[in-house]
Amino acid sequence: MRIESYLKDKAELVHQALDDYTTQLEGIPSTLKEAMRYSLLAGGKRLRPVLVLATVEALGGDSHKALPFACAIEMIHTYSLIHDDLPAMDDDDVRRGKPTNHRVYGEAQAILAGDALLTEAFGLMAQGAKETGLSPDVALTLIAEGSRAAGAKGMVGGQVDDLLSENQQITLAELESIHQRKTGDLIAFSVRAGALVGGADEACLASLTHYAYRLGLAFQIQDDILDVVGDSQLIGKPVGSDEANHKATFPALIGLEKSRQRLLEMTDQAKNALIGHAGLNPERLLQIADYLLARDR
Amino acid sequence: MRIESYLKDKAELVHQALDDYTTQLEGIPSTLKEAMRYSLLAGGKRLRPVLVLATVEALGGDSHKALPFACAIEMIHTYSLIHDDLPAMDDDDVRRGKPTNHRVYGEAQAILAGDALLTEAFGLMAQGAKETGLSPDVALTLIAEGSRAAGAKGMVGGQVDDLLSENQQITLAELESIHQRKTGDLIAFSVRAGALVGGADEACLASLTHYAYRLGLAFQIQDDILDVVGDSQLIGKPVGSDEANHKATFPALIGLEKSRQRLLEMTDQAKNALIGHAGLNPERLLQIADYLLARDR
């Protein structure tokens, strides 16, 4: 199967699971359900859950046991987008080609929809582990790791520093530290969740983690590049929004040419990390790295 | 030991644990750490974590294993207060006698401090269970229940309906449904967490859950009464804020006299639920119900 079809299949599987899961949320206020589903089912690449599934499959593991974690991670990612877009944060009007959550439901409901998605994500991990028979020990490890990746040391901390760095001169190391936490940690958690469900040994887990962080950085560099040279129709938001928001970006800091070079380096390093592990068939993960490198959205 | 001293001891134990836990959060932005600690360590009654500990002790269980859950619940409660106080929600300036989080750190940081507290709470449950040797099965059950209590079906859903009911005529049943979800579910989860860690059997768990919901409702009725007749110095916020915010309250709906009557009924029902379970020494839980009934803050 071509990688495009593979990614599409997995994204559809995740979409369906998220649709089912939120449909089953009964007895909740209809506004809340609608606001949660509006952003959760708005599409997007589903990169994180696809990485969970591709990693567990690369290890020959049971992707059924990984699916709740894949969905939970997408819920966490979606909550972070809703909150990042709020007027008090980036004040964005458009996301994935549609009005942002708070533009449709108002600020209060958008904050609460984000809160609910984040809260439900941890419940889905715990409940999902019980239902699929995943080892409770592994499940607890994953919940602890997920909290760390999404929390103060990870994603939230990265967002705090991102906001504080607006209109400030920062170094390349500082920019990479922000991205490592703001997007890298959750991407790494996605791969690690697949790896732990798939039973990766220590060495393989370390290599997969390295792959994930390099991939995450490459992904962010490409995002920054597309914000300069991309097609706003394809990327679903106005080109030049980083500059308008006074965001530090790779092109702003080191120029487009060096950004492209660094993107290639990171992709190479990601791929090289996967070589030489018995029990790991890295084909899809390698293809994902190449696919992301070539993406235009 | 008198109940006042018992409650003070437990509240101090929880305060110290929360202080230690957030001190250990290394490598996070200092603004974020400060904003999280500002609200988390602002005092308050610590009702929820005290209920966790009192319940596990009433069952002769190991309160050491319950402490991470007690702290996590207080973190969830604190996040909900920070978000509820935001300009987009209740727009409150004072909480526990101090300026609200967003008045000190700004809206963006307050949203993120709340997000971080919520996220870290689930990590603390998972990590704490591993460190204290709590059964991973019980830990997963508690994480799933905690998510339900705090999420769309519970606290967040209650807050959504609370906001939607502003300036609306609602019935007593609707008001009680809002409070059951907005405060009752997390109070019930506190008692259930203590009960499950303490090894309560099914019947005892059901009775403790009944106690908790009645206690939670009594607590809310008393809150509403104090907002009318209380001393703003003691309650740490202006008297009459519910009326100013056009909130539906028990006194507004059924009058002060009937509210006091219902408060007594709920407290009686809470206490009666605890009678006659072998293995449960209900003394402290009964005292807590009486203590809350008589409180002036």
Coil/strand/helix, residue B99: strand
How far is Cα A51 from Cα A187, in angstroms, rounded to an integer? 8
pLDDT at B231: 79
pLDDT for A297 equals 76
Q: What end-to-end distance do the CA atoms of chain A give, in Å?
A: 22
Hey, are the CB atoms on A32 and B156 less than 8 Å from each other?
A: yes
Strand partners, A228: none
pLDDT number for residue B168 = 87
Q: Tally Cβ neighbours within 10 Å of residue A293.
A: 19
* Non-local CB neighbours of A5 within 8 Å, separated by 6+ positions: none
A149 to chain B: nearest residue by CA?
A: B119
With a CB-CB cutoff of 8 Å, which residues 197-216 of chain A face chain B?
none
Query: Within an 8 Å CB–CB cutoff, is residue B172 touching chain A?
Result: no
The single residue listed with the structure tokens 């106690």 is B211
**Res A77 pLDDT > 80:** yes
- B166 lies within 8 A of chain A by CB: no
Q: What is the pLDDT of residues A209-235, one digit of tens each?
A: 999 999 999 999 999 999 998 877 777
Contact (CB<8Å) A116/B151: yes
Q: Inspect the interface and report whether the beta carbons of B108 and A89 lie closer than 8 Å.
A: yes
Domain holding B36, by residue range, is 3-294
Q: Which residues 112-151 on chain A approach chain B with CB closer than 8 angstroms?
A: 112, 114-116, 118-127, 129-130, 136-137, 139-141, 143-144, 146-148, 150-151
pLDDT digits (tens, 9 = 90+) for A4-19: 999 999 999 999 999 9
Q: Are B151 and A119 in contact (CB under 8 A)?
A: yes
A43 pLDDT higher than 90 = no
Angle, helix B250-272 to helix B172-179, in steps of 10 degrees: 60
- At residue A91, does pLDDT exceed 80? yes
> If contacts are CB pairs under 8 Å, which of residues 60-99 in chain B contact chain A?
79, 83, 86, 88-89
What is the C-alpha separation between B117 and B112, in angstroms, rounded?
9
Q: For residues A102 and A86, is the Cβ–Cβ distance under 8 A? A: yes
Q: pLDDT value at position B239?
A: 75
Count of domains forming chain A: 1
Kindly give the confidence (pLDDT) of every residue in chain B, 297 residues in length, as a single tens digit, with 9 standing for 90 and above.
899 999 999 999 999 999 999 999 988 999 999 999 999 999 888 999 999 999 999 999 999 999 999 999 999 999 999 999 999 999 999 998 899 999 999 999 999 999 999 999 999 999 999 999 999 999 999 999 999 999 999 999 999 999 999 888 999 999 999 999 999 999 999 999 999 999 999 999 999 999 999 999 999 999 999 999 887 777 777 777 777 777 889 999 999 999 999 999 999 999 999 999 999 999 999 999 999 998 877
**A217 conformational bin, left if phi > 0, alpha if psi -120 to 50, beta if neither:** alpha
Q: Taking the CA atoms of chain A, what radius of gyration do you get in angstroms? A: 18
CA dihedral sign, ordered B270, B271, B277, B280: positive
Residue numbers in A near B130 (CB within 8 A): 140-141, 144
Torsion of the alpha carbons at B50, B56, B58 and B59, rounded to the nearest 10 = 170
The whole-number pLDDT of residue B232 equals 76
Of the pLDDT bands very low, low, confident and very high (cuts 50, 70, 90), residue A88 is very high
**Contact flag B31-A122 (C-beta cutoff 8 Å):** no
In which element (H, E) is residue B94 found?
Answer: strand B94-95
Name every chain A residue with its beta carbon within 8 A of the beta carbon of B123. Answer: 143-144, 146-148, 151
- Closest residue in B to A31 (Cα) is B160
The CATH number linked to A226 is 1.10.600.10
Q: Which of B129, B7, B26 is nearest to B69 (CA)?
A: B129
How big is the A-B interface in CB pairs under 8 Å? 172
Residues of chain B neighbouring A120 (CB-CB closer than 8 A)? 147, 151-152
> Is-contact B208 B195, C-beta < 8 A?
yes
Chain B residues within 8 A of A137 when measuring between CB atoms: 136
- B153 contacts on A by Cβ (under 8 Å): 25-28
Determine the average pLDDT of the residues in A102-113: 98
Predicted confidence at residue A232, as pLDDT, reads 76
The answer, for A283 touching chain B at a CB cutoff of 8 Å, is no
Asked if A47 and A219 count as a contact pair (C-beta separation under 8 A), the reply is: yes
Contact (CB<8Å) A123/B151: yes
Nearest-CB residue to B123 (from A27, A129, A148): A148
Nearest to B127 by CA among B68, B77, B78, B76: B68
A221 and A259 Cβ atoms separated by less than 8 Å: yes
Q: Is the pLDDT of residue A242 over 90?
A: no
At residue B95, the 3 state secondary structure works out as strand
- Sign of the CA dihedral running A26, A29, A34, A40: negative
> Cβ contact (<8 Å) for B112 and A139?
no
